[in-house]
Amino acid sequence: MRRADHQPSRRAFLDVTGAMMAAGLTAGCTPAPARQHAPTPGPVPATGRHQAGITLPRPAQAHLLAVVADLGATVAPGPVLAELGQAIRTLTAGTDPRLLGLPPGDLTVTVGVGPRLVRTAGASLPGAADLPRFSRERIAPRAHGGDLLIQICAGDPLLLPAVASALLDQAGDRVRERWRQSAHRGAQVSVGNGLTAPRNPLGFLDGIVGPQTPAEQRRDLWLTGPPAVAGGTLAVLRRMELDLPRFAALSVAEQEAVFGRRRASGVPLSGGTAAAGPDLGAKTPDGRYLVPADAHVRRAHATVVGAGLMLRRSYSIAAPAPGLLFISFQNDLRTFTATLTHMDVSDALLPFTTTTAGATFLILPGFDRRRPLGSPLFG
């Protein structure tokens, strides 16, 4: 049985499908310009046990703006977060005048707090630890860490700056913006098992493996305690520049060896289907691994690393340089750090990347009218 938190996405999907079918049925008599408008995607509930913008909607919206800000040293987080939650409810409901009349569609806003704020609530809480340094980083002090993450996602890119402006205005001089990044996803491609994934800037399908089922999400994605953080999760954001000319100079076979998957289909070099994942033990008759020893899917594979699954929800970026805004959600920071440490030793993908921004956040548990955003932790 599917969990209750999956039902809205299913409903949203049916809404969209219904609208598309309606558009298709009337296509024959619709004037051409009217047909160019895609149906407005259905709303994603902002309230509930978990915040939106992590597992929902599925697939993720095409556009993202991440804003990272600091809180003034003497500012109490509780009231700021409660006000942000209230503003998120009116913005996603489309009743906030600061949306300037734009339909919110599938708008989601996901809020996280950085390690400094988490430590003020408890030094041993999940999210209290900073992200360690790794190789191939060139991170300016300004683009490292931060107190507050506001992840805004929507199918309509016009919404993003309006929503960021409304939320920063709501917080006023209690917060100071640190860095922001806008990012986008291409078309979703079917990978089997009812799953889809977009291509990343290197041309490969990205986001196939992860905690997809409710049982996997309970095990590896959502925090179950202590009560102040239950229903939340931990986010890692890393902006990576990608060396596109050097990657494009490789043959397709060499590119596929870097990832361990076929570029066109996402099928592992060991065969099978994209969604089924790689068979890391499979060898050629002369004893070579079909998925090379330094292929990214081997180095990053959960069982090889000995860590849980992370929900990767990355977006492509065009500026300040072409690359990826890597975003992962997991209930243990070690899932991320152990994976990247394992990749650091020898991952054929890493030499093509330079990380220029990085931060980790405790994504707050879901909220509603009676339980304001952030209240279990800072209330």
Binding site for ligand HEM (CB under 6 A): 200, 202, 204-209, 238, 240, 242, 259, 261, 277-278, 296-297, 300-302, 310, 324, 326, 336, 339-340, 343, 349, 353
Compare residues 63 and 301 and give the one whose CB is closer to ligand HEM.
301
Distance CA 219, CA 200 (A): 27
Q: The tokens of 112 are what?
A: 């996280």
> Pseudo-torsion of CA 258, 264, 270, 275, nearest 10°?
110
Compare residues 61 and 339 and give the one whose CB is closer to ligand HEM.
339
The dihedral built from the CA positions of residue 66, 103, 316 and 260, taken in this order, carries a sign that is: positive
Element holding 343 (H helix, E strand): helix 333-345
Distance CA 282, CA 33 (A): 52
- Residue 361: CB minimum distance to ligand HEM, A: 16
Element holding 246 (H helix, E strand): helix 244-248
- Residue 119: CB minimum distance to ligand HEM, A: 24
- Residue 256: CB minimum distance to ligand HEM, A: 10
- Residue 36: CB minimum distance to ligand HEM, A: 32
Compare residues 102 and 321 and give the one whose CB is closer to ligand HEM.
321
Compare residues 40 and 265 and give the one whose CB is closer to ligand HEM.
265
Compare residues 143 and 343 and give the one whose CB is closer to ligand HEM.
343
Number of C-beta neighbours around residue 144 at 10 A = 18
At 242, phi and psi to the nearest 5? -120, 135
Compare residues 168 and 300 and give the one whose CB is closer to ligand HEM.
300
Q: With H, G, I as helix, E, B as strand and everything else as coil, classify residue 306.
A: coil
- Residue 362: CB minimum distance to ligand HEM, A: 18
DSSP letter at 137 equals B
- Residue 286: CB minimum distance to ligand HEM, A: 24
Number of C-beta neighbours around residue 11 at 10 A = 13
